[in-house]
Each structure stands twice: as structure tokens, then as C-alpha cells.
Amino acid sequence: MTDSLSSYKSAKSAENNINSSSRSTNRFIEPVVLIRRIAFAIAIATWMVMAIGSATRVMNAGLACPDWPLCYGSVLPAEQMNLQVFLEWFHRLVASTVGFATIVLFSASWYFRKSLPKWLPWATSGSLSLVVFQGILGGLTVTQLLRFDIVTAHLGTGLLFFSSLLAIATALTNQEGSFDDLRIKSSKLPWLGLIAAVLVYLQSILGALVASQWALHQCFATQDMCIVLNAHLLGVIPATLASIAVVITAWLSKQIAPVLRKVATIAGLLVILQVAIGYGTYKLHLQVEQLTIAHQATGSALLGTLVCFAVLAFRANSQDQSLIQEQNQAQPAIR
């Protein structure tokens, strides 16, 4: 049965490669490749925006530009420029670039919609809605003087937007052909990856609450806000265990695509790094700014990696099921 399925996959792969080659001669670049590259590029830029935003908060530069969307009433406040103003100004600059790039992504997906999966234009529409809402929250963080709930929602929406872009780009990976080695024999692994991603996202929200309310400083100084801090510390347990479960399950699965095992390994390394940085940040009472920034950036990278793993795992599971059904339907005709 396994040999038959493998030969069937090879035949399907050859057929898809021929079709892909004939389509590629009609265009300089396939729309699906263009959309995938744009989505990946925006995702990387979004990760940078979140890292710069973390640096802005740590450096107390959140209100370095007292107005919005301009900074001191100009596009480039040269006279007022210092490190804090630069951080806030540069954060807005990169965020604006991400917003405009998302409009390009949205427009391209609808323009080439006949050559793309039906779900893609709607997915990019969702991403555009998230980035618009993110921009509104960014303005409110300034006008509302860094209200903790708005700051938390700002990061939470940014993480959702970041995840949506990675999900789109990962789902389109090699869409013009087929994954010859994308296989998975455990229907539980995709859901395990999704659960781990959700738990890491919720843990990131708790971390945003700790940061926006300066809970660690207040808890050590006055024993205030310790509930928020302890909730974040306890949240480490389920998020870490779920992530480790993904890694172990992926490595113990004998019949699994190498790309899935590699992504799971990256997630495992990021978990170790994140826990180590988090421990150092806690013990040093947030006194090392670079550690605090790295903690947020590594957490975002871990979330993105788990999202990519879950999308690939769901796609592999769906592809295996569809191939088995097609083979079962073809066997009676052969006989």
C-alpha cells in the first residue's frame, strides 16, 4: 500500500511539474510566487516593526513624538531628533511601509484572483483589515497617552497580522507544484501545532500586559501588580510544554516530511532561547534593555514558527488524505 501510494505521488508530481512548466512560459513570474514573496517580505518587516516597538517602549520613547501621525508637526523632525524621537519616528516609518505593502498585496491578490486559490483574496482582505485596525490602535496609543489596554491590543493585533501573513505565505509554498516529500501520518500533529501557537499567542498577550503596566517593576517595588506578573510566569508552563510536545512528536514520527521536522527543530531551539532570555530578564529586573527587546522578538519568532508548522502539517494531512481517496477511486478502474 505504501509503495503504491508513493508511485502514485510520483506520477502526480510529474504531471504537476509539466503543467507548472507550461504555465511558467506564459508569464515572467507566476502570480502565486509573487504573492508568496510579498507576504513573506511583509511578515519579516512586521517582525522588525514589533522589535522596534519593543525598543521604543523599553527606552521610554512611546511619546517621544507627541502628535500623530506626524512627529512635531512634520514628516521628519530634524530639529527635535534624538535617540528617543528617532525610535518612535522610525517605528512609524517602517509601520507605514508595511501598511502600504499590504495594500499592494491585497490589490495583487484580487487582480490575479483567477490564477490563485479562491481563498487567497479573502485572506489578504483579512490581513488588510488587521493592518488598518493596527494603524488606528497605533494612533490611539499616542493620543491616549499609552493606555495599557490599547498598548496591549496594539501588540496583540500586530501578532495576529504577522501570523496571518506567515500562514498565507506558507500555504502558498510550492503551490504551483506539489510537495513530493510533504507527508504526515499523524492527524493529531497539525492540531498540536495549532494549540501550541495559540498558547504562545496568549502568553505573548500576558507579556504585553506585564510590559504595558510595568508590572515587574511595581511588583518588586511595592508588591503591586504581582497578579499580572504571576499570571505571565504561570503561562510559561502550558506554552512551553505544548511547544516541546510539537518538537518531540515531530521527531518521534517516522513518516513525516523533513521540512516539518526542521521547522519543529527551529521551534524547539527558540523555546530554549526564549525561556533562557525570560529567566535572565526576570532575574535582572528588566535592567538590561537588550534582553527585554530580545525576549519579545524571540517570542514573536516562536509564534511565527509554530504557525508555519501548523499550516504545513494541516496541508500535509489534507494532501495525504486526498491522495489516498484518489488512489482508492483509481484502483477499481485499473482492475
The string of pLDDT tens digits covering residues 202-214 is: 999 999 999 888 8
Same-domain check for residues 335 and 237: yes
- Domain with 150, as residue range(s), is 31-175
Q: Which of these, 224, 231, 226, lies nearest to 207 by C-alpha position?
A: 231
Q: Domain count of the chain? A: 2
Q: Is residue 16 part of a domain?
A: no
Same-domain check for residues 136 and 199: no
| Confidence (pLDDT) at 183 | 57
| Confidence (pLDDT) at 102 | 98
At which of 148, 175, 202 does a domain end? 175
| Confidence (pLDDT) at 20 | 46
Same-domain check for residues 215 and 77: no
- The contacts of residue 20 (CB under 8 Å, 6+ apart) are 176, 177
Q: Is residue 193 part of a domain?
A: yes
Q: Is residue 319 part of a domain?
A: yes
Mean of the per-residue pLDDT values of the chain? 85
Same-domain check for residues 164 and 295: no
In 146-185, which positions are buried (b, 16+ CB within 10 angstroms) versus exposed (e)?
Answer: eebebbbbbbbbbbbbbbbbbbbbbbbbbbbebbbebbbe
Same-domain check for residues 193 and 232: yes
Q: Is residue 2 part of a domain?
A: no
Same-domain check for residues 169 and 250: no
Same-domain check for residues 204 and 111: no
At which of 145, 175, 205 does a domain end? 175
Q: Decide if 69 contacts 95 (C-beta within 8 A).
A: no
Same-domain check for residues 332 and 225: yes
- The contacts of residue 78 (CB under 8 Å, 6+ apart) are none
| Tens-place pLDDT, residues 246-300 | 999 999 887 788 889 999 999 999 999 999 999 998 888 777 889 989 999 999 9
At which of 123, 149, 175 does a domain end? 175
Query: Residue 95: pLDDT band by 50, 70, 90 thresholds?
Result: very high
Same-domain check for residues 203 and 334: yes
Give the CA dihedral 261, 267, 273, 276, nearest 10 degrees: -110
Q: Is residue 163 part of a domain?
A: yes
Q: Decide if 31 contacts 116 (C-beta within 8 A).
A: yes
| Tens-place pLDDT, residues 174-199 | 744 444 455 555 678 899 999 999 99
Is it the case that residue 7 has pLDDT exceeding 50? no
Same-domain check for residues 189 and 325: yes
Q: Is residue 203 part of a domain?
A: yes
| Confidence (pLDDT) at 214 | 85
Residue 281 to residues 23, 60, 109, 209, 211: CA-CA distances in angstroms? 52, 17, 42, 16, 12
Q: Is residue 62 part of a domain?
A: yes
Same-domain check for residues 148 and 213: no
**How many C-beta neighbours within 10 Å does residue 273 have?**
16
Q: Is residue 161 part of a domain?
A: yes
Same-domain check for residues 167 and 77: yes
| Tens-place pLDDT, residues 12-57 | 454 454 444 444 434 457 999 999 999 999 999 999 999 999 999 8
Q: Considering the entire predicted model, what is its pTM?
A: 0.86
